[in-house]
A and B are shown apart, each in its own frame.
Chain A
């Protein structure tokens, strides 16, 4: 059994705003072991980014309230003070952000920014740090790292900047690498390369990865376990193969249906989930997906718990439909058959 790195227990994150209390994350549980890749999938506003940033204490603010626990190797991140958090950030858990264009400081060289990440946690001189930066850039596949290390971010292409971000995140050999939509801002051809790189480096650096995305296609290759989030909740959680072959939640079907597929008959239009995610201030009663769900019925006015309803014991979902009903309905939804909706 691999070492348990992260254990999130009933995490709630709420932001007090002028319009009311925003329940960004509302009771999330998951675990992450060394060597594992956890995919967190959901639309914008589903709470996936807030969850990941909370792991590093980056959502801390006077208007933010937390409940539950985020255990990193048994220590609760939520109750750490600022100094303890600084020790964890970058050193034990590192993060890669969505937009590599804006996530690097334009006024410092790539090398300076990687050195900064190294020197904040280790007492090495600038020369040694620079040598390591060059080595890291080589590992993430930057050509001529000896000269590119002195380049500024604007001299790098989008894909290269994301590689540089990855190099910076790996600078202190963290146990956990959190990638928040690492490929969203990149060309499709570069996306696969970046995901592959993250997967390969995870093994080289013996880390675990949390991969956050709105695109199930991105996590299809590399994730071991997948969590689907909606309105701050986990609505389905399963091992990857289970999730792709036996999805239980109509929301997951919607996500799956919106991936273009070559192995299925062509449909006129790609499926899209109708409507928009609910306001996190005034959540609908009962199942949070009910207003957008084509299969909602009376019972959905009561919220289903995250429970195991199928044969596979690790597969959890939040839907009142019986397994048989679901299996009959979902193929039509995924195929984009509008009659079903």
Chain B
């Protein structure tokens, strides 16, 4: 276990370093990326731009700039550290990047964790139902519904559902967008998030339903399922203990990675459509401004969760499947 943790930690450091390098390199390489020009604005004089370049250190070698940016990022992560010039700040509005990401975390986590639970539970359930009623109308209905779900893009479904179901529109069932903190009002929190949860989940439910269905159909023909029936177990118990339990192994792997990717940026569209002010929306706003520090912060934030969750997936995998446990 200790060896596993050390190995994963080393891996995480390498991945995060590489990701930060790549993000930085992209910004140096893209045209129109000169931050001094962007900060100075459209009507700035050449002298103005030069001054800004000097003041912000854009005239230094790229590795000095990179090192400086990383140093600022670490400073900002230190608890209780405050310094106007020592923190990682946005080029365009000088706000502290880490504070901005922290502010967005509750909304993003509420959205993704809630949606994750919904899509995992519903996906598994739908997949099992489709598999055990294979070929019958329930299976066919689920298959068609899953295909429809997979085919609907979030921005379209989100806007459509807001237009039809949210406040001020034909069928007012849900409040129209915005995020209410859980600590402030749990009921309003859930009420405001319900629509975003469903919109974000639908695509995944369709996909997970399909994966789970085929996994169950594979497992159901395994010899050990026949053994379980031959022991005299009731069909429900065979299904729960021997079929579903074993079918979950591939689905859990998939879930860990999808969940991490969604926290790390996959929910951008949903956050944007429902104006949740989460990390994803912060990322989207800053990408459109080509503002390097926030993009660096958000990218590393996403990469960190992907690395963390792939380690958790490995743990879950070992818990589900004793064959890969180290002995």
Contact = CB atoms under 8 A, between A and B. Distances in A.
A246 interface: no
Given A97-B226, A152-B323, A105 B231 contact: no
Contacts of B322: 106-107, 109, 152, 154
B231 to A, nearest CB: 4
Interface stretch (A114-122, A201-209, A234-242, A271-279): A114-122
Given A105-B242, A106-B321, A107-B322, A168 B231 contact: yes
B232 A121 contact: yes
B243 to A, nearest CB: 10
Interface in B207-233: 222-224, 226-233
A12 interface: no
A30 B194 CA distance: 64
B223 A88 contact: no
A125 B241 CA distance: 18
Contact of A105 (B224, B232, B235): B224
Interface residues of B, number: 23
A291 B320 CA distance: 52
Interface in B160-219: none
Contacts, number: 72
A102 B222 contact: yes
A290 interface: no
B224 A103 contact: yes
Interface in B234-270: 234-235, 237, 241-242, 245-246
A109 B227 CA distance: 15
A2 to B, nearest CB: 25
Nearest to A101: B223
A314 to B, nearest CB: 31
Contact of B223 (A99, A107, A168): A99
Contacts of A97: 223, 226-227, 230
B235 A104 contact: no
B224 A102 contact: yes
Interface in A153-171: 154-155, 165, 168
Interface in A82-100: 82, 85-91, 94-95, 97, 99
Nearest to A57: B229
B234 A90 contact: no
Interface in A52-101: 56, 58, 82, 85-91, 94-95, 97, 99
Contacts of A117: 231-232
A116 B230 CA distance: 12
Contact of A86 (B227, B234, B241, B320): B234
A124 B285 CA distance: 63
Nearest to B325: A152
Nearest to B225: A105
A56 B230 contact: yes
Contacts of B245: 107
Contacts of B241: 116
A94 B226 CA distance: 12
Nearest to A172: B232
Contacts of B223: 97, 99, 102-103
Contacts of B323: 106, 152, 154
A88 B232 contact: yes
A178 B197 CA distance: 53
A106 B318 CA distance: 12
A116 B231 contact: yes
Contacts of A106: 224, 246, 321-323
A58 B232 contact: no
A262 B224 CA distance: 38
A324 to B, nearest CB: 46
Contacts of B229: 58, 89
Interface string A240-262: 00000000000000000000000
A154 B231 CA distance: 21
Interface string A112-155: 00001100110000000000000000000000000000001011
B230 A90 contact: yes
A102 B222 CA distance: 7
Given A152-B323, A154-B322, A154-B323, A103 B227 contact: yes
A152 B230 CA distance: 20
16 contacts: A58-B229, A86-B234, A103-B224, A103-B227, A105-B246, A106-B323, A107-B246, A107-B320, A107-B322, A109-B322, A116-B233, A116-B241, A117-B232, A120-B231, A120-B232, A152-B322
Rank and list the top 5 A-B pairs by shortest CB-CB distance, nearest first. A90-B232, A89-B232, A102-B223, A90-B231, A105-B224
Interface of B: 222-224, 226-235, 237, 241-242, 245-246, 320-323, 327
Given A58-B230, A90-B231, A90-B232, 7 more contacts: A86-B234, A103-B227, A105-B224, A107-B320, A116-B233, A154-B322, A168-B227
